[in-house]
Structure 1
Amino acid sequence: MEEDTPANPVPDTGNADLSISSSTFLPPSIDKWRLLAGESYAYFSPCPPLLLPARDCSDPNTDYLILGIDEAGRGPVLGPMVYSAFYLPHDLHRSLLSKEYSFDDSKVLTATVRANLMRTLCTTGSKLHDSCGWATKVLSARDISSGMMRPVASVGGVYNLNAQAMDATIELIRGVVEERKMNVREVYIDTVGNPVSYQKKLEMVFPSLRITVAKKADSIYPCVSAASVAAKVTRDVALDVCYEAFKEAAGDTAGEGWGSGYPSDSKCVGWLRGNMDPVFGWGNECRFSWGTAKEMLELKGGERVDWPADDSDTQLMDFLLSSSDTFKGGDQELSEWFGKKTAEVL
């Protein structure tokens, strides 16, 4: 379980050495070192002051909480995918989020509006900070790819994006409801897949919760809209952090940036082509399991590596145990290098 990070109007996220624009708000959900190392991680905000002490879940008359979940960055070839949970008292759901702060689907809000909402959420004393809690799960590009590119016969088999998304959702709900003992009774989740099957799976895991999974939930339920903003801001800043680290290392050869990170973005594709190592491809910022990256490596890669067979150790042992008179000519030198059987020396 990740440790709660104290809320702070201007949180210290360990990114002071990065030359990100001073106008960019760095939320506490950004962990520079884990991002650059290609690690996935979770962040949970401290319990909102108005929800302390934790409410008694056994009392049916106690005001309960609702929780929304949404993601950002499912489709890009660069950067992490971020899932976010956002929870608050149900009686404040629409009055606070819709009317007072005008939360909406993050895609229809400008970057400035999203950043300002996130800043307010993280500012001690604001109504958002004092009555709302939130969490994020950052799934790194490296971990997404390693799961999707597992051999079918390996332990667990292929770990596809839908399975990774489901596990991230479950982790966030458990972290809020079970580990932090928040009195959540209703959960609303945005989905890009089949909402019926998705909802049934979650209801089996959390039978005591009233779960609603719906397409376009981020434009229907304000708590999902707020979750989408937290996810989008975290995703965008994470991408900036990764690019600034690349630019610092590349110096004058950094180019003009990598754009949004989506395969449909010509700037992103141009960056991939111009910064591809012929053997290793790219760094932890790239999802190697995406078609854009795989095709580029296959078509443009200048080197091809033929790895030894899995049974190479067995072949070497057979060689060591074989009689030296089996090997003639040039192979004799190799045989002598490995040594001879004890019986021959005697």
Structure 2
Amino acid sequence: MDLENFDYPEFAKYEVVDSSNFVNFGSNEACVLGIDEAGRGPTLGPMVYAVAVSPVSLYSELKPLGLDDSKALTEAKRDIIFKKMVEDEWTRERLAYRLNVISPRMISAKMMMEGSKGALNEMSHSSCIDLIQACLDNGINVKEIYVDTVGPKDKYQKKLAEIFGKKIKIVVSEKADSKFPIVSAASIAAKVTRDERVKNWVFEEGEKDLTRDYGSGYPSDPKTKKWIAANCHPVYGFPSIVRFSWGTAQKIMEKQCCKVNWDPYNQKVVEKKSKFGKRPVLTLDNFFTKAPPSKK
């Protein structure tokens, strides 16, 4: 299957959320971008990528907002800062943002189709690239970019530089959310949005037999493990909030779900090239067999 050209269904695409001042932000003045994510590790809920934008001339004025790594701030403080980013005119003159909300189903589909946990890094890189491109496409004059790294920072920085050229200053760094206020702003926007989505998750399956007592959503949380195990259907698996591809979820499915044996004699195998060489990949034909002859 050609994954690069595969048209994912709507549930497996980004949900994009812009601040109302995002388009043409800065009125062509030179701007600085910061990019970070929230929700990379949990078993439950979306991963949210955010870009924050500020005019270079006003960037130093962000200090009074108290920006910091979102994990170092209390929930109340994060909420106050993000509310200012949304509503406060002084803040909105200095900050705009865009969010890519990556659903649990999109994460699961990509990771399970590509057969590698490296797919999560690739999703992160793709989202970052999409956010930068969105800024350029929406009339923002991008001069500097600061990114919290995913994977080796030098390799990631080179990748971004090859795409966006040498005219834009690009810095990829560990703990960028605690080093650069613009990345802190992105971190806060991503974290507040993710927390709100998890707290008020809309269950496509309906809420008749579902509770919201699922804890933090992280694999190490006993409440999360208990909730996932209690809401595992023997055929359909989990509600849409769960990342099927996570180890915690897969172990529960192995214990509680119906076993399916695919006939190895009917498998067709194709070779897929990757940086690790060729590896066998199952095609869609693997999951179907010819119908038996009809009786006349």
TM-score class, shorter: 0.7 to 0.9
- Using the size of structure 2 for normalisation, the TM-score is 0.82
Which structure 2 residues correspond to residues 42-191 of structure 1 after superposition, within 5 A? 42-47=16-21, 51=25, 54-55=27-28, 63-96=29-62, 98=63, 100-123=64-87, 125-150=88-113, 160-177=119-136, 179-191=137-149
| Rounded Cα–Cα distance in structure 2 between residues aligned with 1:146 and 1:312 | 17
1: CA distance, partners of 2:67 / 2:114: 42
The 1-side partners of 2:49 and 2:146 are apart by 13
Distance in 1 separating the partners of 2:212 and 2:133: 42
What CA deviation, in whole Å up to 9, does each residue of 1:234-292 have, x standing for no partner? 110111121x6489713xx5456101110011110110111111121112211111111
Shift of 1:159: 7.0
Deviation string for 1:27-51 (max 9, x for gaps)? Answer: xxxxxxx8xx675311222336995
SS in 2 for 1:131: coil
Distance, in Å, in 2 between the alignment partners of 1:304 and 1:138 is 33
Q: Counterpart of 1:269? A: 225
Q: Which residue of structure 2 aligns with residue 227 of structure 1?
A: 186
- Does structure 2 retain, via aligned residues, the 8 Å contact 1:190–1:216? yes
- How many Å apart are 1:191 and its aligned residue? 1.3
CA gap of 1:67–1:306, structure 2 versus 1, over 3 A, is: same
What is the CA–CA distance in structure 2 between the aligned matches of 1:296 and 1:75, rounded to whole Å? 18
Size of the aligned set, in residue pairs, is 266
Deviations 1:161-201 (A, max 9, x none): 01111110011001012x11111100000014211000000
* Matching residue's letter, 1:102: G
Higher CA-based Rg: 1
User: Which of 257, 280, 283 is residue 213 of structure 2 equivalent to?
Assistant: 257
TM-superposed CA distance for 1:95, in Å, is 2.4
Structure 1 residues 237 and 228: alpha-carbon distance in aligned structure 2, compared to 1, 3 A threshold: same
Q: What runs of 5+ residues in structure 2 fail to find an aligned partner?
A: 1-9, 267-284
Q: Which residue of 2 aligns with 1:28?
A: none
Stretch deviating more after TM superposition (109-118 or 125-134): 125-134
**Larger strand proportion of the pair:** 2
2:155 corresponds in structure 1 to: 197
Assess if the C-alpha contact under 8 Å between 2:150 and 2:156 holds in 1: no
Q: 1:247 to 1:64 in 2, by over 3 A?
A: same
Aligned equivalents of 1:127 and 1:246: distance in 2? Answer: 39
- Indicate conservation of the 8 Å contact 1:40/1:139, yes or no: yes
How many percent identity over aligned positions?
37
1:195-344 correspondence runs (5 A): 195-207=153-165, 208-242=167-201, 245=203, 249-250=207-208, 253-255=209-211, 257-301=213-257, 303-306=258-261, 309=266, 310=285, 315-316=290-291, 319-320=292-293, 338-340=294-296
Q: 1:7 matched to which residue of 2? A: none
2:23/2:138 contact within 8 Å kept: no
1:235 is paired with a residue of what secondary structure? Answer: helix
Output the CA distance in 2 between the equivalents of 1:312 and 1:217.
45
Mind listing any 5+ residue stretches in structure 1 that lack a counterpart? 1-33, 56-62, 321-337, 341-346
In structure 1, C-alpha distance between the alignment counterparts of 2:72 and 2:286, rounded to whole Å: 55
Asked if the contact 2:22–2:98 (Cα under 8 Å) also holds between the matched residues in 1, the reply is no
Q: Go from structure 1 to structure 2 and tell me whether the alpha carbon gap of 1:136 and 1:312 turns closer, same or farther (over 3 Å shift).
A: closer
Residue of structure 2 in register with 1:16 after alignment: none
Supply the AA of the counterpart residue of 1:187. Answer: I
